[in-house]
Structure 1
Amino acid sequence: MQDKIQMVDLKSQYHKIKSEIDQALMVAVEEGAYINGPQVKQFAENLRNYTKSNTVITCANGTDALQIAMMALDFQPGDEVIVPAFTYIATVEVIALLGLKPVFIDVKDDTFELDCTQIEALITEKTVAIVPVHLFGQCSNMEMILAEAKKFNIAVIEDTAQAIGAKYTYVDGTTAYAGTIGTVGTTSFFPSKNLGCFGDGGAILTQDIILGNKINMIANHGQEKKYHHQVVGVNSRLDTVQAAILDVKLKYLDSYSEARQKVAQKYDSHLGGINELILPFRASYSTHVFNQYTCRVLNGKRDDLKNYLAEKGIPTMIYYPIPVHLQEAYKTYGHKQGDFPVSEQLCREVISLPIHTEMQEDVQQYIIDNIISFFH
């Protein structure tokens, strides 16, 4: 049993669609167009159709996607970008790399998204954007965020790395996919993502066609026509082989989401009665595609639970152990312990349980039984 348990079982996922993947790889390799081959354009178009976005530009990884989006929006050194204190480092890293100033905002203790009620107090004349992070597979409250952004005429950059395929529902009942709601959306195709390739990859989505054209130029050395460079750009490409893999897996994205939701529902139904365990909250305005199944463990027992499960051969992960404002690299922005209390509390309490598309019922039951045993 114990040797079967993984946080993510990519090997089994591959074997289910092995013939399709292998065929796609063979075609890509035999064609020999390893950079910007036809599969790249085909995948971008299929992802555009899936998300109902006007423009999709693929790139090398999710971090590049964030950086390119900010470059395309013409942010200047010293401009301020509001970003959650509880997120993966890449969200903040690109802000610092571009000479911008990350303005941290605390998060909600249920959805883990940025606390919209705190936005207005952080706005200054230098604020140029808000970056909502759709953490663990669920959209942020985009209508509230967009309302604040519109009030101050600032951009909204969605970090959708963990929520590709999640659907946001507006108050009027209409829906939109994560990454297509703000000024621009970014995502990652890191292997463990719900839509993951066999290496690195990313994409940028926007409904603004003019902005999309500029993003495309920046991702390709700042050129629209070869050797004619109109803006300062970068070299960030999704390679043909990865695009071929992603194009196959895109057809299965909804079924992957459903498989993860089924695993989440079983965790919910069996672990819901444990008082010291807070299970993932479901926002009314978003589906949850469960890139991670992240709980909170109360009364200082998180690390004890992690160690107990490890002894039973059950892996867990802590996303994230240190909030961004307390990371060594970002202490220069002058924050201290206590400045973002919810983010700091979550870093002490969160634990992510194994969840993936190939989870076997007996394996999940073993995990559940051991969690119950720990608390009783």
Structure 2
Amino acid sequence: MSTINKLKIPVYQPSLTGNEMKYVQDCLETSWISSKGRYVAEFENNFSFYINSKYATTVSNGTVALHLALVALGIGPGDEVIVPTFTYIASVNAIAYTGATPVFVDSLKTTWQMDPDDVKRKITPKTKAIMVVHLYGHPCDMDRLTSIAKDYNLFIVEDCAEAFGSLYKGQHVGTFGDIGTFSFFGNKTITTGEGGMVVTKHKSLHNKLVHLKGQGVAEYRQYWHDVIGFNYRMTNICAAIGLAQLEQADDFIKAKRQLAQWYKDSLSVAPVKFHDEIGEVYHSYWMCSILVENEEIRDPLREHMANAGIETRPLFYPVHTMPMYNQRFEIFPVAEEFGSKGINMPSWPGLKKEQVDFICSTIKNFFA
């Protein structure tokens, strides 16, 4: 039996082969392990330079990045925020945390991203923002969405948790709207273990984000708090890991795009649909994802792959189907189709060609 058949191929694992250990060791040796230390500022500065954002501030995870962004924009009870139902639950939960109401929209069959026409249909006098989610690394249609936001005087919050390094017409996602947020969880393109970033082009908004994330402490009076804030700060150790990861970002994204091409080439004759790069975009392929022809096939295929030692994940179930958000009966056919037919395949940048060949042959054997 081939040794690869005995291997467990995870759906994701981080690559920690750069300066991560060196920088963390420096934190330990200098005792700068909490939310102060040079790596926090270095990570923020280098990140903002990388994506060409004017300002960036670190936070403790991607979910609080979204919450902080919404609070800083003044989103609260009585407001509505438009969000795709086909997204990770954190996007919607962050809206609920503020007391605002999430208003769901469907997705496009082509790009898998939120449908601008449905966005326009869902705008009401209570709408205050559009939460744009660049799902699985493919950018949304930012020309249409920014135009709609401008016409209706709405904020844009870009959820880039899965799209670090993705470009729309040569511009990094996260830099189109009023605020952009990123996640650095262990399965993201660059990771800090747990962590996030909030970026903006507005100085006053950046200052508000920094003020709120640090318990609302006044800038010029020690231990004086002038607003109800949050403890959403990133530690120096996490920032040290993030800085080391950022140094390798180009290599990670290049490897993930190569991985996607290997999958597409090998599965071109299989009865599956790949998440293709559509339009003038640069898809960072956080996850390499496929759709099967009907939902009855999806789970048996995943089980077949698991028996071969290959871990997979389903695509996100639409949030409007979950108990806390399904009080109102709604149908979103595209999102529901994706949620029932989709599979995320192993997508980490260190995956070898022979492992991809094995994964693809396992899929093709299922359909043989």
Q: Same fold (TM over 0.5)?
A: yes
2:132 counterpart SS class: coil
- Number of the residue aligned with 1:209: 203
Q: Alignment identity in percent? A: 33
Q: Distance in 2 between matches of 1:361 and 1:85?
A: 34
- Unmatched tracts of structure 2, length 5 or more: none
Give 1:210's aligned amino acid.
S
- Number of the residue aligned with 2:228: 232
Q: How does 1:100-179 map to 2 (within 5 A)?
A: 100-169=100-169, 175-179=170-174
Q: Are positions 1:286 and 2:286 aligned together? A: no
Q: How does 1:188-199 map to 2 (within 5 A)?
A: 188-197=183-192, 199=193
Give 2:53's aligned amino acid.
S
Q: Deviations over 1:69-123 (max 9, x none)?
A: 0000011301000000110000000111111000000111232110011122111
Task: Report the count of equivalent residues.
Answer: 360
Q: Distance in 1 between matches of 2:329 and 2:45?
A: 43
2:7 counterpart SS class: helix
Deviates more, 1:91-100 or 1:227-236: 227-236
Q: Are positions 1:304 and 2:300 aligned together? A: yes
- Number of the residue aligned with 2:78: 78
Q: Are positions 1:33 and 2:32 aligned together? A: yes
Q: Deviations over 1:319-353 (max 9, x none)?
A: 21x31011011123x134xx111111111100011
- TM-score, normalization: structure 2? 0.95
Instruction: Tell whether the 8 Å contact from 1:141 to 1:285 is kept in structure 2 after alignment.
Output: no
Q: Distance in 1 between matches of 2:59 and 2:13?
A: 25
- TM-score, normalization: structure 1? 0.93
- Number of the residue aligned with 1:181: 176
- Number of the residue aligned with 2:20: 21
Q: Distance in 2 between matches of 1:185 and 1:90?
A: 15
- What is the CA distance between 1:285 and its match in structure 2? 2.5
Give 1:279's aligned amino acid.
F
- Number of the residue aligned with 2:90: 90
1:365 pairs with one of 334, 357, 364? 357
Q: Distance in 2 between matches of 1:72 and 1:308?
A: 47
- What is the CA distance between 1:9 and its match in structure 2? 3.1
Instruction: Tell whether the 8 Å contact from 1:4 to 1:363 is kept in structure 2 after alignment.
Output: no
Q: Deviations over 1:255-299 (max 9, x none)?
A: 10000110100111111122x310112122321111101110112
1:22 counterpart SS class: helix
Runs of 4+ with >3 A deviation? none
RMSD: 1.2
2:320 pairs with one of 315, 325, 331? 325
Q: Are positions 1:257 and 2:253 aligned together? A: yes
- Number of the residue aligned with 1:44: 44
Q: Distance in 2 between matches of 1:4 and 1:308?
A: 14
Deviates more, 1:130-139 or 1:26-35: 26-35
Instruction: Tell whether the 8 Å contact from 2:107 to 2:113 is kept in structure 1 after alignment.
Output: yes
Q: Distance in 2 between matches of 1:230 and 1:55?
A: 23
Q: Distance in 1 between matches of 2:23 and 2:190?
A: 16
- What is the CA distance between 1:26 and its match in structure 2? 1.1
Q: Distance in 2 between matches of 1:71 and 1:230?
A: 15
Q: Distance in 2 between matches of 1:268 and 1:259?
A: 14
Q: Distance in 1 between matches of 2:24 and 2:76?
A: 41
- What is the CA distance between 1:160 and its match in structure 2? 0.2
